[in-house]
Amino acid sequence: MKVLVPVKRVLDFNLKVRVKPDGSGVDLSNLKMSINPFCEIAVEEAVRMKEGGGGHAPGAATEVVAISIGPEQAQETLRNALAIGADRGILVKVEGEVEPLAVAKLLKAVVEAENPDLVILGKQAIDDDSNQTGQMLAALLDWPQATFASKIVLGDGKATVTREVDGGLQTLDVELPAIVTTDLRLNEPRYASLPNIMKAKKKPIDVKTPADLGVDIAPRLKVLRTAEPAKRQGGVKVKTAAELVGKLKEAGVI
C-alpha cells in the first residue's frame, strides 16, 4: 500500500504572531518556520504503517511519499518528513499563499500520477486555520473521507477510522482509496534521530510547478485587510474566594 502525505511549512507554533502595521498581513520575515504540527502527526502515522507500531503491522504501507506545496524553503519541511521516515519527497514550487482549493487541485494531479491507496493530511494548518484541504481533495477525487482521526485501523480494502467529533467519538469504515485527516490524539510524533536526519538529506525530492500539473492557482478570495483582534483588558486580582463571589454578584453572572 502506498501512502501520500501532504505537509505544509508554517510559522513555528511557539512564535508570537505579529500583524504588519499597515494591515497588509502577518509579518513572517526572519521568523522560524516549521512543519505544521498536524502534518507531522500525519507523517508519523504513515511511517508507523510502514515500520509497524501504533497498531499497524510492519509493511502495511510499502512506500510513504511526502509532498509539499510552497516556496523553495519548503524543501526543509520535506526533509523533516523524510527524517521521520518518509521515502521520498515531491515539492510543488509556488510563491506566496495558495488557497486550499488550489492546493487540493494540485494534490489531485499528484494523486492521479502516484496512485496512492491512502492520503493522510493534517486536519488544519495552524496559520490560516482553514480545515478544508483534505475534504476538498476527497471531493475532487470522489473518494470517501474520515476527518479528525484519533485512530486508524487498516483492513482489507478499507480503513476503520475513529474520529473526534463534538459530542465524543465516532467510528467509520471508509473504502480505500480514501482521505484521512489527523487530529491531535492520533499519535505523538518522534524526534528524528541524527542518523535519520543525515539519511534524509540523501533521499530524493522531485520538484514540479503548478504548470507541470496543469493547475490554475489564482486566488479566488481577496483579503482586504489583516488586523489584530481587540485586546481584552485584564481585570483585577482578588484576594479571597469571598471577594470573588462578591465581584461575580456585582457583575451579574451568578
Partner 1 sequence: MAVLVVAEHDNASVKDATKKLVTAAKAMSGEVDVLVAGANASGAVHAAAKIAGVRKVLHADGATLAKQMAEPMEALITPLMANYEAVLLPATTTGKNAAPRIAAKLDVMQISGVIGVESADTFVRPIYAGNALITVKDEQAKKVLTVQATAFKAAGDGGGASVETVAAPGGPFKSAFVSEEMAKSDRPELTAAKRVVSGGRAMGSAEEFHRVLDPLADKLGAAVGASRAAVDAGYAPNDYQVGQTGKVVAPELYVAIGISGAIQHLAGMKDSKVIVAINKDEEAPIFQIADFGLVGDYKALVPELMAELTKAGV
Give residues 179-208 in contact with partner 1 (rule: CB under 8 A).
Answer: 183-185
User: Contact with partner 1 (CB under 8 A): which of 58, 72, 112, 170?
Assistant: 170
Q: Does residue 235 touch partner 1 according to CB under 8 A?
A: yes
Q: Does residue 74 touch partner 1 according to CB under 8 A?
A: no
Looking at the DSSP bridge assignments, the partners of residue 151 are 162
Backbone angles phi, psi at 133, to 5 degrees: -60, -45
User: Contact with partner 1 (CB under 8 A): which of 148, 151, 186, 189?
Assistant: 148
User: 168-175 and 158-165: which strand pairing?
Assistant: antiparallel
Q: Does residue 24 touch partner 1 according to CB under 8 A?
A: no
- Residue with Cβ nearer partner 1 (168 or 204): 168
Largest CA distance in the chain: 69
User: Contact with partner 1 (CB under 8 A): which of 6, 85, 100, 116?
Assistant: 100
What is the 8-class DSSP label of residue 219?
Answer: -
Single-letter code of the amino acid located at 107:
L
Q: Are 32 and 25 contacting, i.e. CB atoms less than 8 angstroms apart?
A: no
Q: Rounded to the nearest whole angstrom, what is the least distance from the CB of residue 74 to partner 1 in the complex?
A: 19
- Residue with Cβ nearer partner 1 (204 or 235): 235
Helix segments in 68-220, DSSP class H:
74-84, 100-114, 133-141, 194-200, 210-213
Q: Does residue 57 touch partner 1 according to CB under 8 A?
A: no
Q: Does residue 211 touch partner 1 according to CB under 8 A?
A: no
- Residue with Cβ nearer partner 1 (204 or 252): 252
Q: Does residue 175 touch partner 1 according to CB under 8 A?
A: yes
Q: Does residue 123 touch partner 1 according to CB under 8 A?
A: yes
Q: Does residue 140 touch partner 1 according to CB under 8 A?
A: yes
Backbone angles phi, psi at 246, to 5 degrees: -60, -45
CA–CA separation, 29 vs 32, rounded Å? 9
Q: Rounded to the nearest whole angstrom, what is the least distance from the CB of residue 138 to partner 1 in the complex?
A: 6
Q: Does residue 222 touch partner 1 according to CB under 8 A?
A: yes
Between the CA atoms of 29, 32, 38 and 40, what dihedral angle is there, to the nearest 10 degrees? 140
